[in-house]
Amino acid sequence: MLTATLLSACGSSGKPTLNWYVNPDGVEVLTQYAAECSTDEYDIEVQLLPSGATDQRTQLARRLAAEDSSTDLMSLDPVFVPEFANAGWLLEFEGEAGDAVTEGILDGPLDTVMWEDKVYAAPQWANTQVLWYRKSLAEAAGLDMSQPVTFDQVIDAAADNGGTVGVQANRYEAYVVWINAMILGAGGDIVSDTESGKDAQVDIDSDAGKAAAAVIQKLADSSAAQSDLTVSNEGTSLGQMFPAEGPGEFMLNWTFAYKNYEGLIETGDITQDQFDDLGFARYPQTVEGEPSAPPVGGIDIGVGAFTEYPEFALEAAQCVASDEAQVALARDAGLMPARGANYDSAELQEAYPPELLELWQTSLDEGGARPKSAYYALISQAVQSRWHSPTAVDPDSTPAESAKFLQDVLDGKALL
Amino acid sequence: MTTQTDTPVKDRRAAKPVESDRSRAEARLGQKLVAPAIVLMLVVTAFPMLRALYLSLFNYSLTAPDDREFIWFGNYAVALTDPLLWKTTGITVLYMVVTVAFELVIGFAFAMVMHRVIFARGVIRTSILVPYGIITVVSGFAWQFAFSYQNGFVNSWIPGLAADFNWFGETTPAVVAIMVSEIWKTTPFMSLLLLAGLAQVSEDMIEAAKVDGATWTQRLTRVILPNMRAAIMVAVLFRALDAYRIFDNIFVMTAGAQNTESISFLTYRQTIEQFQIGIGSALSVLLFLSVLVIAFLIVKIFRVDLADARQEK
């Protein structure tokens, strides 16, 4: 029994095996890179995490809280990095390793791997949201999409022309992504001074918070709201772009939407003409004239603090986040590079329209992260609790109520 | 007086068989042999409880270990004065009362069918019990699909309901959907327990009532149900405690949205999702205590002696 355990831990060749916990996006490419980044000294083996961000976080946290030595590498949603780093669950990328993984990284993703001025993860791929839309719908509404558009304009354009606006407004993390992006886009913050933990400054009750709430209220009251608004997610609005009847939609969604729709041509679900009608533009402005702050997501590679092979794991993390891996993930799985230079690679220029690549890159460079805090889960769920359901959001009361509640939650004076 | 009271005691002692040295030694050996198992069980059951009790005295988040702070019973004060706890307790009690009431009625009907059925007995009994064999998470998903306006059948089955009615968009329909899935899943368990009770009712008594001219309703209310009181209590007790811990259906169908969260779900979120170990532990202690209270109340309400129910008297 003991021998069997030892053997499986070391792999059949007697080399140590590094476990890499990955989220189920682009697993084929990740598995290939696990093999390519394996060396004579160690093997990397891919272990699959659940698909939901909350479940991924829970599973990793459970292992790390128990000081699991077999959690060597992990794919982390950017919002987990500060939490995990503060808990002492991540190894720091010191010196050269830190420089190597942060060099040339776009500002949005770079910000996600830093905690208290130290590097705690290697940005592997970066995700951002753009406004996907039907060109014919925008045209019918007389909306000039070459110029920045506001949420108000988009909602009106859809409502006046029988279209809809697809968002993520279920009670889950992606709803906070939307709220946060709108608040940042209006020049505000949900919280600031987050490195002071529970003593962070709660800012959500501001003009920016009210502007964000006004957009949600407007959409919820509009005929452009999709019937499942209160439980909508990234998947529900995908099918509304090319409906059997109606002019389609404007949709906030991540980079994967492009490859998703392109794939539908092959399966015969949409025609090439319909696909050509798919447009993309920068994330809408919350306040006219104020640049929007597109959400930043993606995956950072962290190294478990309790790994038996810290040096190997740090080396492996750099390898799986290398330029080659980033380009392969973007080309084959639609997961965009975190390093700016990779957008210029010939393979990506061929796989995507150059203007889309440029849009993504700009969005990531000028995008805004969610609050970086060891208490992020509390902050996010406190916001969800007061802002859901979107049909009940009111700019006059929701930001103020949520600010008070968030403060109470951080002070340990309220249940969440 | 003293002599009178002492005598029976002496008698009883005298009536006990005298143990030989050998049987006493065997008893001691038996105790030694089971001791490790008892110690292990105590450790397994008592340790988590004591640990939860200890952790509930801290303001402690797993992701900020340095901020851990001993606050005595502060977490209990926060929990007990928070409207959210009472709201989730209210909704949990609602789940419990409604589902158990429906299950008792439907379960009893099923039990009667299973008890009286003459042909295809095995098939009928098995088909009634099928839902209970399905894992709760799976049945939660099945019912979530059933109630979905996109691919479910429920909307088309209910006359006058819009085809795109979103069951999970508001509290009331979402709670109803969760209750339906719970009732569907656990009614067979209720009927199984009631079937056992039904089998214990003497056929002679029912026959006698029939001969005396009692109608079906009279036989049911005067003979069958009173004789099943202990079985009904056990069924209600088991299901009520089970329903009070409702979690899986909510987790799958709404993830706690639209105020459908139960007290177990609240505890789960504090501890597992938010890493708030202190307040989460306090909530689990409160949950444990409330389960004890419910068990006590049900036993009191039915006024049934458990020993009697087990036919130990």
Quote the pLDDT of residue B306: 56
pLDDT digits 0-9 by tens, B116-146: 888 888 898 889 999 999 999 999 999 999 9
What is the pLDDT of chain A when averaged over all its residues?
93
pLDDT at position A262 is 93
d(CA B106, CA A303): 55
Q: Any idea which of A249-253, B65-69, B77-81, B98-102 has the lowest mean pLDDT?
A: B65-69
Judged against a pLDDT cut of 70, whether residue A9 lies above it is answered with no
Residue-wise pLDDT for B160-190, tens only, equals 998 889 999 889 999 999 999 999 999 999 9
Chain A residues closer than 8 Å to B267 by CB: none
Confidence band for B310, pLDDT divided at 50, 70 and 90: low
**Which of A61, A171, A231 has the CB atom closest to B275's CB atom?**
A61
> In Å, how far is A251's CA from the nearest CA of chain B?
19
Predicted pLDDT of residue A73: 97
Per-residue confidence band for B256, with pLDDT thresholds at 50, 70 and 90: confident
The pTM for the full model equals 0.80
Residue A46's pLDDT is what?
96
Q: What is the pLDDT of residues B185-237, one digit of tens each?
A: 999 999 999 999 999 899 999 999 999 999 999 999 999 999 998 899 889 99
Give mean pLDDT, residues A79-84.
94
ipTM of the complex in this document? 0.77
| Interface touch A87/B74, C-beta < 8 Å | no
Chain B residues near any Cβ of chain A (below 8 Å): 59, 61-65, 67, 71, 74-75, 78-79, 82, 84-85, 149-150, 164, 166, 168-169, 255-258, 266, 269-270, 272-276, 278-279, 283
pLDDT for residue A215 is more than 50 = yes
Quote the pLDDT of residue B311.
53
Whether A2 has a pLDDT exceeding 50, the answer reads no
Reduced 3-state DSSP string for chain A: CHHHHHHHHHCCCCCCEEEEEECCCCHHHHHHHHHHCCCCCCEEEEEECCCCHHHHHHHHHHHHHCCCCCCCEEEECCCHHHHHHHCCCECCCCHHHHHHHHCCECHHHHHHCEECCEECCEEEEEEEEEEEEEHHHHHHCCCCCCCCCEHHHHHHHHHHCCCEEECCCCCCHHHHHHHHHHHHHCCCCCEECHHHHHHCEECCCCHHHHHHHHHHHHHHHCCCECCCHHHCCCCCCHHHCCCCCCCCEEEEEECHHHHHHHHHHHCCCCCHHHHHCEEEECCCECCCCCCCCCEEEEEEEEEECCCCCHHHHHHHHHHHCCHHHHHHHHHHHCCEECEHHHHHCHHHHHHCCHHHHHHHHHHHHHCECCCCCCCHHHHHHHHHHHHCCHHHCCCCCHHHHHHHHHHHHHCCCCCC
| C-beta of residue A80 within 8 angstroms of C-beta of residue A57 | yes
pLDDT (0 to 100) of residue B10: 46
CA of B275 to nearest chain A CA: how many angstroms apart?
8
User: A396 to each of A207, A211, A344, B125, how far by Cα in Å?
Assistant: 10, 10, 46, 58
- A vs B: CB pairs below 8 A: 88
| pLDDT, average across residues B9-35 | 78
pLDDT at A246 over 90: yes
A416 interfaces chain B, CB cutoff of 8 Å: yes
Mean pLDDT over the full length of chain B: 88
- Which pLDDT band, with edges at 50, 70 and 90, does B313 fall under? very low
| pLDDT at residue A282 is higher than 70 | yes
